[in-house]
Chain A
Amino acid sequence: MRQMDILDLTIVQLHEGFKKKQFTSVEVTKEYLGQIKKTDSKIHAFLTVTENLALEQAKKADEIIASGNDFPLLCGIPCSIKDAILVQGEKATAGSKMLENYVAPYDATVIKRLKEQGAVILGKTNLDEFAMGVSTENSAFKVTKNPHDLTKVSGGSSGGSAASVASKQAVFSLASDTGGSIRLPASFCGVVGLNPTYGAVSRHGLIAMASSLDQIGPIAKTIEDAKIVFDVISGKDSMDSTSADYKFETKEVSLKDLKIGVPKEYFAEGLDPQVEKIIKEAIKKAEDAGAKIVPISLSMTNYAIACYYIIVPSEVSANLARFDGIKYGKSQQDAPNLLDVYLKSRGVGFGVEPKRRILIGTYALSSGYYDAYYKKAQEIKELIKQDFAQSFEKVDVIFSPVSPIPAFNIGEKSSDPLAMYLMDIYTCPLKLAGLPALSIPAGRIGKLPVGLQIIGNYFEENTILSVASQLEKMLL
């Protein structure tokens, strides 16, 4: 089989190929490593390429495959991992100078599950520092370019993961989503991204940003691939007390008579008319296939960004307190006393965006401001939750754009933090409610892909995946 063909294969196709001995995992892994070497000087998706680990895992996978017994779907499949997820013995920088030389002392639970399947880890992908951003421009190391147009951003914070899948440097990637960090880059790079229900996947071994929102999920070429990976990584884990006792089961949902909610607030001012056109065409295709389109209102939408950017920085100011120059990470040991070790290590280690969020969070939680900010935000969060709950009494799924605009120019927004925050307008409200949602390519503006967001009810990943897999064929 020619190289180009191998890089185009899905998980099931590779699995069948392994079974029929058309190629080995080592051969496939080498193709991917070759593709990374060939393309990543332009794309900048990877922070570390774990070549030795990958080849060792591929060899092991080939032994399992050669034994003649049944083997798991992910056995021998090469993937990339967002650099905020720990892979034992490999660097995990979270895109920060603070963790520039940090080597993960253990595996994240999701990595353990991939390894149990025999998956092959090609490397660690770029992200905005501590997953704070929408473009990877906040990475302390490099900016990941959009594979469809190198002058544009890849989206963020999981830009490296999305770009690696879009440029055929990995079959799939594991990423994390706090306010849109899986779905936005998936939309910008033209791949599939799934943000699972809060609690569906263990976060043990994910470098925390905002623990009440962080979720790990897959970025993949197809809905089927995303589903296979989600099935493997989801479920209860004793190391994450928020993980739910939940077993994913495939469900076939017909588009016929499916009730699709379309929130009017998501098609208001600020939405690029060309994005709107693509999303409306996708909705029309679902309608043509028999779905009922139900106009709905999510009246709290306008308050979601402010709510989100109070809650997240508040949690950031607490979560990032662990980076103190004492236990691990950047340390200014030449400081004269303990307090100065803290001040200087954090001053040198953190980039601008983490500093900004730590300060906003500290401010919002400080005496005299707590009620006006944090408490208020918690109330809004509850109202947003109720907003969605009422909608899901009337509809099965909700369709919307992922982002108001397609991928923007590198540097275009980097001096305006608020403009960056506003990019989360369609992706963060459902996070505040803890709901699952995915991004699926729906069309293009010129070279730039545009994603459709499908939001589901709690733990109904199977519904949104089934709906998306039917649309996938129509949207091609």
Chain B
Amino acid sequence: MISKEEVLKIAKLARLELTEIEVEKMQKDLSSVLDYFDILKNAPKLKKQKEVKDKHQNNSLRMDEVITMPASLANNLIGLAPDKKEDYIKVKSIL
């Protein structure tokens, strides 16, 4: 079984606050899922990656150019921020 400390360490990496009850639950749930993954130990090994040429996939790079969008879109996006000052999203000080 995965330890409480391990769950807390992963949760911190994932920037996720968990309650005491959640930590216990995740210990149990993660352990059963990770145990299930053991099935892959018996899986065959990949010998060679086959190159599959896909006629529908083109080069997905595009020109590095400015695409103009309506100002209303920017307003809509900024408008969603929980804390803002004029047209800027406000973040708590980090220093």
Q: Is the pairing of A and B real?
A: yes
- Which residues of A are in contact with B by a Cβ distance under 8 Å? 102-103, 105-106, 199, 238, 241-242, 244-246, 300, 302-303, 305-307, 309-310, 317, 321, 324-329, 331, 333, 335, 337-339, 341-344, 346-348, 350, 352, 355-356, 358-360, 362-363, 366, 373, 376-377, 379-380, 382-383, 385-386, 389, 417-418, 421, 458-459
Number of A-B contacts (CB under 8 A): 141
Q: B residues within 8 A CB of A310?
A: 37
Give chain B nearest CB distance to A315 CB in angstroms.
Answer: 14
The 8 closest A-B pairs by CB, nearest first: A347-B17, A105-B76, A244-B56, A328-B80, A331-B82, A241-B60, A379-B46, A343-B17
Q: A376-B43, A379-B46, A385-B52 are in contact. List 17 more A-B contacts (CB 8 A).
A: A327-B81, A338-B92, A342-B15, A346-B14, A347-B16, A350-B16, A352-B25, A358-B16, A359-B7, A359-B11, A359-B16, A359-B30, A363-B10, A366-B10, A380-B46, A383-B43, A386-B50
In the bound assembly, the distance between CA atoms of A418 and B19 in angstroms comes to: 22
Does B22 have its Cβ within 8 Å of any Cβ on chain A? yes
In the bound assembly, the distance between CA atoms of A379 and B41 in angstroms comes to: 12
Contact A355 B54 (CB under 8 A): no
Contact A306 B18 (CB under 8 A): no
Contact A343 B92 (CB under 8 A): no
In the bound assembly, the distance between CA atoms of A106 and B18 in angstroms comes to: 33
Contact A324 B10 (CB under 8 A): no
Contact with A along B61-95 (1 / 0, CB 8 A): 01000000000010011011111000001011110
Q: B residues within 8 A CB of A373?
A: 37
In the bound assembly, the distance between CA atoms of A105 and B40 in angstroms comes to: 42
Say which residue of B13, B56, B79, B80 sits within 8 Å of A362 (CB atoms): B13
Give chain B nearest CB distance to A369 CB in angstroms.
Answer: 9
Contact B30 A363 (CB under 8 A): yes
Q: A residues within 8 A CB of B17?
A: 343-344, 346-348
Q: B residues within 8 A CB of A309?
A: 33, 36-37
Contact B18 A326 (CB under 8 A): no
Contact B30 A325 (CB under 8 A): no
Say which residue of B22, B34, B92 sits within 8 Å of A363 (CB atoms): B34
Some 14 contacts from A to B, beta carbons below 8 A apart, are A244-B56, A303-B39, A328-B81, A331-B83, A338-B93, A339-B15, A346-B14, A347-B19, A350-B16, A352-B22, A359-B30, A382-B49, A382-B50, A389-B50
In the bound assembly, the distance between CA atoms of A97 and B10 in angstroms comes to: 22
Q: B residues within 8 A CB of A244?
A: 54, 56-58
In the bound assembly, the distance between CA atoms of A373 and B80 in angstroms comes to: 37
Contact B10 A347 (CB under 8 A): no
Contact A306 B92 (CB under 8 A): no
Q: B residues within 8 A CB of A342?
A: 15
B11, B14, B54: most-surrounded residue (chain A CB, <10 A): B14
Contact A418 B32 (CB under 8 A): yes
Give chain A nearest CB distance to B88 CB in angstroms.
Answer: 12
Contact B62 A338 (CB under 8 A): no
In the bound assembly, the distance between CA atoms of A309 and B33 in angstroms comes to: 9
In the bound assembly, the distance between CA atoms of A309 and B82 in angstroms comes to: 33
Give chain A nearest CB distance to B68 CB in angstroms.
Answer: 14
Contact A326 B30 (CB under 8 A): no
Q: A residues within 8 A CB of B80?
A: 102-103, 105, 327-329
Give chain A nearest CB distance to B89 CB in angstroms.
Answer: 6
In the bound assembly, the distance between CA atoms of A382 and B47 in angstroms comes to: 10
In the bound assembly, the distance between CA atoms of A386 and B47 in angstroms comes to: 11
Give chain B nearest CB distance to A203 CB in angstroms.
Answer: 13
Give chain A nearest CB distance to B1 CB in angstroms.
Answer: 14
